Amino acid sequence: MASISIPDENRTLTDVQEICDFLQPFGIWYEKWDVAGRIGEKATNEEILEAYAPEIDRLKEKGGFVTADVINVSPETPNLDAMLEKFNKEHTHSEDEVRFTVEGRGVFHIHPENGPVFAVQVESGDLINVPRDTQHWFNLCSDRHIRCIRLFEAPSGWTPHYMEVGIHEKYSPLCWGPDYLQKADDIDPVVKI
């Protein structure tokens, strides 16, 4: 399930309704889709698109999207670091960025005009949109794995438009959850002199 971290307010949201209520004023919608048993472990991209066809069709009608595909990212992805460099700096797109996470985890950092910078960690079953012209950036979690359905308003997709001076370096790219908690537990909180 998604969570939201608002670092400048030292606040985290995990309740689905709180998440939806927080995101709504920024034009961001969040949905939780059922994933249990819908696809096999080694499902092809076509099988994934077929399994989620009703949801994809609903989103196409709602948002004017014309095409959908599946992106697979793992540590074995060729040129992974170069690919991630395209998205881990603050940028915008000229159309909505819509992602449904089938597997894995990642973090969308949002820098809205009318609010604090916040991070939305997504995992399997989470659908989110980042509205057109919204400043944001994206990081993978430590396992560097995510598989998502993407929707586009134009068959050619979108390209990032980078900010001249981005604030992405001021915010941690970390994911919350077992990986983070394990690392925090390994740190001895007692300093000996």
Q: Which amino acids are annotated as binding site, given as ranges?
A: 91, 93, 97, 136
The answer to whether the CB of 119 falls within 8 A of the CB of 110 is yes
Name the nearest CA neighbour of 146 among 65, 53, 83, 60: 83
69 phi, psi to nearest 5 deg: -145, 180
Sign of CA dihedral 67, 95, 164, 120: negative
* Helix or strand holding residue 80 (H, E): helix 80-85
Residues 172, 82: Cα–Cα separation, whole Å:
19
Extract the annotated binding site for Fe(2+): 91, 93, 97, 136
Extract the annotated binding site for Ni(2+): 91, 93, 97, 136
Among left, alpha and beta (phi > 0; psi -120 to 50; other), residue 144 is left
100 phi, psi to nearest 5 deg: -115, 120
Name the nearest CA neighbour of 56 among 98, 106, 104: 98
Residues 45, 92: Cα–Cα separation, whole Å:
27
